[in-house]
Amino acid sequence: MLIYTLKRVLLALLVALTVSILTFGLLHLSSDPAVALAGEDATEEDIQLVRVQYGFDKPLPVQYMTWLTNALQGDLGTSYYFGIPVSTLLAQRLPVTLTLGSCALIYAILFAVPLGVLAAMRPNTWLDRFCLSLAVSAQAMPSFWFGLMLIVVFCLWFPLLPVSGSDTWKHFIMPTIVLGTNAMPAIMRLTRTGMMDVLATDYIRTARAKGLRPNTVLLKHALRNAVIPVIAVIGIQAGYMMGGTVIIETIFALNGMGLLAYESIMYFDLACMEAVVLLLCLVFITTTFVADILNAWLDPRIRIR
Amino acid sequence: MTVLLEVENLTVDIPLAAGDLHAVRGVDFTIKKGETLGIVGESGCGKSITSFAIMGLLPQSAIRKAQRLAFSGQELADLTQEQLSDIRGNKMSMIFQEPMTSLNPSYTIGEQLIETLLRHRKVNRKKAVERAVFLLEKVGITAASSRLKQYPHQLSGGLRQRVMIAMGLMCGPDLIIADEPTTALDVTIQAQILSLLAEIQNEFQMGQILITHDLGVIASVAHRVAVMYAGQFVEIGSVTEIFEAPMHPYTQGLLACIPIPGKTKRGSFLGSIPGKVPTLIGDQTGCSFANRCTYAKEACLLKDVDMVSLGPGHSYRCVLSSEICHQNAREAACT
Ligand SMILES: Nc1ncnc2c1ncn2[C@@H]1O[C@H](COP(=O)(O)OP(=O)(O)OP(=O)(O)O)[C@@H](O)[C@H]1O
Ligand code: SF4
Ligand SMILES: [Mg+2]
């Protein structure tokens, strides 16, 4: 298990490094940051001045190394638009997004897994079809539309929830529902197929042959094996959610990373963009890493060779 | 001897898109305490489905019917799921055909062994572990206590089947059903596992259903033999009766060279009979062996053939008279 974990950590670090190089390279190559920075009526000299001042004239690898060494020391540069250090900005915004992400994930799992299990236990009954139609509608609904509908219902018709902001827990309810609902169908369908596959296995027959009670068979013997593939997908869904936050935080004006990503792109805030993209990637890498470790812990065939 | 299991006119139908599959079509037998019934028959004739029907482990869609299906005098169809599960793994247990996949990959051998005992007996974990170690040693597994901490994928097929046997014995059942316990294993291990089962059955005086293709094993281990064909028993009798005086043409074909109890070596398999097994889907009248039988005549297809009793315990399902059957047997036997 220790060796397995170490291998995974190493892999995650490698991926993170690659991602950081790609982000940095792509953003710097996509347009000339000095032009954007210097402003609209800047002369050629102004631009050149900016270029030298910010070190954009140096070769890209050198710029990257400087950026990386600084970043590793916690210095991600200063935001051109907000005028404060990017690290301070992230420290304000990241907790909001992490809260939103984890709430949405928990909400999605809490609904999707039990529904998937129920559907698997009664395949092709009305219950199964009901779950399937839920999944299809959830999948078909664009988040921005769903978000707006929720606002119409819970803010205009029945003014129960605040429309926008991130001050109280109430502000998180609608964004959580929208973000989580998006992740539900994949988790639910995978739980269903996983569970159906497992329920048809020989070892479930053995468990029943031993006289174990239906609940023991289901929860101890079946579910544990059925969730192994689901966990990997949850890890990936958690990553997708990070991307989803861009839309959702914009709709609900939640002051998180997603909104920051939107703002920094709008104002071509290079240092900020780099940091946001990198951080979102890091979150993605972390969730898949956690999923890997959880899987190994659940499945001895991965853990013990 | 007390009767352990009574099966009367057991049928199992599996509804399929193409029609109902009659997997078991009227099976009768009884098993007494300490008695081993061997069941032989070609692949797909319904041996496993018969065992599942007794254990209550049929696929959800399957429909089981029986005039009587009683364990220790208790009609199984009258029991609730809860009462049935109280018996399963406790009073009657089953060893499956697929040792590689019959253990849960996520739990240790130890956990899977002791949970059976903890379910059915009021014992603490320590006692349960002791019992598990005792039985693992009994089934010939060395270093038993360290094996308890291993996972199924760390064990070979032979070891896994030994674990399955030990698991079936955890509660000291009255009846054990061994469904081709060795088909998935190496030839060298097959004999070991089978003699182990026979030894244990004898020691604990359990009733046993032993399903196997190995006629030699049947000859040396079983007390009674049932020959199954296309969902029916076509002949049932004591080992001596079946091996020395097989009546049904199918039995005679299987025993093309008749083995003698005690003398026939293990590993002598069923003789092969030309032709194919009829489909079990849909309704057919007449003898289901007719398309492969050398003695088939018109009368065989007119109506379903009933079991003919030759005395206590020996009966066969054929329109031919016992004299003719005897004569056929003599002619078929090789000398
Ligand atoms: N779950 C199922 N669904 C549909 N048909 C099935 C199912 N299980 C078994 N059958 C059919 O029922 C019949 C009897 O099968 P069974 O498994 O009892 O055969 P068997 O005698 O045990 O054969 P083998 O020696 O290969 O184990 C076969 O024709 C098989 O195709
Ligand atoms: S009933 Fe007819 S076809 Fe069937 S086994 Fe007897 S002789 Fe053969
Ligand atoms: Mg079988």
In order of start, what are the domains of chain A with their CATH numbers?
2-72 (no CATH), 86-304 (1.10.3720.10)
Protein residues near ligand 3, an ion, with CB under 5 A: B 48, 97
| Residue B177 and residue B81 in one domain | yes
Over residues B127-155, the pLDDT tens digits come to 999 999 999 998 889 899 999 999 999 99
A–B: how many Cβ contacts below 8 A? Answer: 77
Looking at residue B103, its pLDDT comes to 97
Nearest ligand to the C-alpha atom of residue B13: 1
Over residues A127-181, the pLDDT tens digits come to 999 988 988 898 888 888 998 899 899 988 988 888 888 788 888 999 999 999 9
Cα(A302)–Cα(A295) distance, rounded to whole angstroms?
A: 8
Phi, psi of B188 (to 5 degrees): -65, -35
Chain A residues within an 8 Å CB radius of B17: none
| Residue B159 and residue B188 in one domain | no
Number of domains making up chain B: 2
Which of A203, A208, A214 shows the shortest C-beta gap to B101?
Answer: A203
| Residue B216 and residue B113 in one domain | no
| Residue B311 and residue B177 in one domain | yes
> Is pLDDT at B235 greater than 90 in this prediction?
yes
Q: With cut-offs at 50, 70 and 90, classify the pLDDT of residue B259.
A: very low
> Is pLDDT at B52 greater than 60 in this prediction?
yes
Give the ipTM.
Answer: 0.89
Cα(B155)–Cα(A146) distance, rounded to whole angstroms?
A: 52
| Residue B180 and residue B65 in one domain | yes
SS3 B227: strand
User: Which residue's entry shows tokens 């907000």?
Assistant: A82
Cα(A1)–Cα(B200) distance, rounded to whole angstroms?
A: 39
| Residue B158 and residue B178 in one domain | no
Nearest ligand to the C-alpha atom of residue B300: 2
Q: With cut-offs at 50, 70 and 90, classify the pLDDT of residue B333.
A: low
Q: With cut-offs at 50, 70 and 90, classify the pLDDT of residue B62.
A: very high
Residue nearest to atom 19 of ligand 1 (CA): B44
Instruction: Choose the final residue of a domain: B172, B203, B220.
Output: B172
| Residue B68 and residue B102 in one domain | no
Instruction: Choose the final residue of a domain: B172, B196, B226.
Output: B172
How many angstroms does the Cα of residue B213 sit away from the middle of ligand 3?
10
The pTM (predicted TM-score) of the whole model is 0.86
Residue nearest to atom 30 of ligand 1 (CA): B44
Q: Which residues contact A293 (CB under 8 A, 6 or more apart)?
A: A5, A8
Q: Locate the ligand 1 atom nearest the alpha carbon of residue B49 and give its number.
A: 18
| Residue B226 and residue B206 in one domain | yes
Containing structural domain, residue B151: 98-172
| Residue B103 and residue B78 in one domain | no
| Residue B234 and residue B293 in one domain | yes
Over residues A46-59, the pLDDT tens digits come to 888 877 877 777 88
Distance from CA of B94 to the nearest CA of A (A): 7
Instruction: Choose the final residue of a domain: B153, B172, B191.
Output: B172
Given an 8 Å threshold on Cβ–Cβ distance, is B85 in contact with A212? yes
Looking at residue B258, its pLDDT comes to 46
How many angstroms does the Cα of residue B267 sit away from the middle of ligand 3?
18
> Is pLDDT at B263 greater than 70 in this prediction?
no
Looking at residue A35, its pLDDT comes to 75
Number of neighbours of residue B169 by Cβ within 10 angstroms? 22
> Is pLDDT at A242 greater than 90 in this prediction?
no
- Residue in A closest to B84 by C-alpha: A211
Q: Mean of the pLDDT values across residues B257-276?
A: 55
Q: Are A102 and A289 in contact (CB under 8 A)?
A: no
| Residue B234 and residue B273 in one domain | yes
Given an 8 Å threshold on Cβ–Cβ distance, is B55 in contact with A209? yes
> Is pLDDT at B211 greater than 90 in this prediction?
yes
| Residue B233 and residue B108 in one domain | no
Pairwise pLDDT comparison (A82 vs B64), residue with the higher score: B64
Nearest ligand to the C-alpha atom of residue B246: 2
Phi, psi of B263 (to 5 degrees): -105, -35
Looking at residue A202, its pLDDT comes to 96
H or E segment to which residue B40 belongs: strand B36-40
Domain of B74: which CATH number?
3.40.50.300
